[in-house]
Amino acid sequence: MTATATALGDGVLDELRGILGGDEYVLPDLPARVNRTRVPAPFPVHRWGEFLPDVAVLPRTTEQVSEVVKLANRHGIPIVPRAGGTGLADGAVPLRGGIVVDVKLMNRILDIDLVDRTVTVQTGINMLTLNRELKAHGVIYPDDPASYPCSIVGGRIGTSGWSLIGGRYGHTRDLVISMELVLPTGEVIEVGDGGGRKVRKSSTGFQLKHLFMGHQGTLGIATEATLELVPRPEVEFAAFFAFSDYGTAWEATGALAKSGLATLAGVVLFDEWKLAYLRRDDEAYIPQPPTVRAVIASAMYGARDEVEPASRRLMRIAKETGGKYLGDEISQGDWASRHDRYATPLHGRLKDGQVVPMCWHCEDASIPYSQLPAVREKWHAIAKRYIDRYGIFDDWGMFAYTNAAYKPWGDYLTEIDIGIWEQELDEESWRGWVQCKREIAEVALEHGGSITACHGATRAGDVELVPQEMGGGFEVMKKIKAALDPNNVMNPGKYLLDQAYEGENGREAVR
């Protein structure tokens, strides 16, 4: 069965009301749908209506989610899971209408286990909210995206998120021990590392947990998750260093990341373009003179007895590699703002310097450390060409963040931030933007990287390159998709997975 309807009838809406227990949990009105159409990433606003869902629903239990998914299969209606809607790919953007399953009311803490060091939650809970509750117990769930105050556990699972302090504590895939999941057919299963919701390491069976991380809503909806608890840090230490050139800062970044200091949570390299942006337009303005052309941010967390001596060693390494300390006020203040980058009011500049409101595109890639300087040059050159041609883009500079879990070396979450004057977009400039994005992603692959470290690769400009990056693995993705989602109802159209229903399967794409 495939979906062919363009809108839901009253019968389907009544069924949804029956499943969810009331009108207030079924939202077919236009504002509710418009508000669940896009995410903060650049969006073709001139074609907004193409991405409207037909209805949004607000389940409160796993059983309700399961019944909604079964309904979707019976009627052939697309399902799109949505958590915080803060993603920078388009996992939560409906491509073919249908039912948006908004999990924000599934926000209960179900179990805090201080003996086995886990917390079990419904996936609609926000990490900041969770950690406010956990503080009284002396523990913390250390998943720390730039959207920390507003993103949600379910979305972190759906995108396989990256954490600012992952070099110390791991990233979402490392911090989610197990989860309860509604499959695309409505069956409910538990997946983890083997069985047992609180088991961190097992060799039983396939390692299914990773399969259900970062699928962008194409393989089901996580409804509960058992999460890692770590001791609440006694001490935070942040130190920022200035450099007069990028090359020296890049070498210093490597030296710090390879220091072996176990409390080191992350190292971040800001390039010259980023410093220029901070000087002119960012609320986290770092008022440094033109002699400063690169900055390194670093941070440590842990017990005071560990962090104090480690901080002295970190300061020594930075000094020996050419860094000049920016002082406690800037280091501490700016680091605190790194937990909350979505609070930044976004504006950028046209080529004449005039301010315009801009949305934020953060192109992320995983890049080996050795390749950072070359990728940086190519990315800025690409951005410049499109800025010159279209006049509605602005280069906001690059960051490179340590990307590995539990060890801050190896590859880096590398991002170039580009402002887009979204109100001026038309189809020509949108296509130009997608091509710009594609060229940026191609450079990541040319240099042995991955086209995304944490956002996902579902968007135009990225998704065409997924088969190239995944190679034979993309064929496996299609087989898994077809096996788990026989009716192609779960976020159809994403990740080129409609191809799973072509050929011998003889199925049409949903809608």
Partner 1 sequence: MIGFTLRAQRPPEPRRVNDDVVERFEHVLEVAPEKMTEHVQQQDIPAWDTHRIVGGRWDHLDWMHDHWADSVLSTGIEPEIAELGEPMPSEERS
Residues that bind partner 1 (CB under 8 A): 128, 131-132, 135, 140, 232-239, 242-245, 272-273, 276, 279-281, 283, 285, 287-293, 301, 304, 307-308, 311, 315, 324-328, 330, 332-333, 336-337, 339-340, 343, 347, 349-350, 353-357, 380, 383-384, 387-388, 395
Q: Which is nearer to partner 1, 57 or 317 (CB)?
A: 317
Residue 208 Cβ vs partner 1, minimum distance, rounded to whole Å: 32
By C-alpha distance, which of 464, 360, 460 is closest to 415? 360
212 phi and psi angles, rounded to 5 deg = -100, 20
Residue 17 or 347 with smaller CB distance to partner 1: 347
Phi-psi region of 196 (alpha: psi -120 to 50; beta: other; left: phi over 0): left
160: left (phi over 0), alpha (psi -120 to 50) or beta: left
The residue (of 281 and 411) whose beta carbon lies closer to partner 1 is: 281
**245 versus 427: smaller Cβ distance to partner 1:** 245
Give min distance, CB of 411 to partner 1, in A.
25
Q: Count of residues for the chain?
A: 511
**Euclidean distance between CA atoms 68 and 79, whole angstroms:** 9
Strand runs labelled E in 235-330:
235-243, 264-270, 294-302, 324-325
Of 290 and 503, which CB lies nearer to partner 1 in the complex structure? 290
Q: Closest separation between CB of residue 112 and partner 1, Å?
A: 18
Nearer to partner 1, 5 or 235 (CB): 235
Closest to partner 1 by CB, 284 vs 480, is 284
DSSP calls for 41-106: S---GGGGGGG--SEEE---SHHHHHHHHHHHHHHT--EEEESSS--SSSTTS-SS--EEEE-TT-
Q: Say if residues 56 and 33 touch (Cβ distance below 8 Å).
A: yes
Least Å from the CB of residue 198 to partner 1: 25
3-state SS record for 376-416? HHHHHHHHHHHHHHHCCEEEEEEEEEECCCCCCCCEEEEEE
And the tokens for 274? Answer: 């980023």
Terminal-to-terminal C-alpha distance of the chain: 11
Q: How far is the CB of 443 from partner 1 (least distance, A)?
A: 16
As measured in angstroms, the least distance from the Cβ of 321 to partner 1 is 14
Supply the minimum distance, in Å, between the C-beta of residue 242 and partner 1: 6
Beta bridge partners of 194: 192
The SS3 of residue 418 is strand
Instruction: Tell me how far apart the alpha carbons of residues 9 and 16 are, in angstroms, rounded to a whole number.
Output: 11
d(CA 86, CA 151): 6
Q: Which residue, 396 or 501, has its beta carbon nearer to partner 1?
A: 396
The smaller minimum CB distance to partner 1, of residues 66 and 126, is found at 126
Closer of 111 and 245 to partner 1 (Cβ): 245
Cα 390 to Cα 382: distance, rounded to the nearest angstrom: 13
CB of 135 to partner 1, least distance (A): 8
Least distance CB 437 / partner 1 (angstroms): 16
Q: How far is the CB of 502 from partner 1 (least distance, A)?
A: 41
Given the complex with partner 1, which of 239 and 489 has the nearer CB atom?
A: 239
Q: Which helix (H) or strand (E) holds 357?
A: strand 355-357
In angstroms, give the least distance from the CB of 259 to partner 1.
Answer: 17
Residue 122 CB, nearest approach to partner 1 (Å):
22
Say how far residue 325 (Cα) sits from the centre of its chain.
31
Considering beta carbons, is residue 263 or 366 the nearer one to partner 1? 263
Closest CA to 161 of 373, 410, 359, 401: 401
Give Cβ neighbours of residue 154 (< 8 Å, ≥ 6 apart): 81, 83, 103, 106, 123, 124, 221, 222, 223, 225
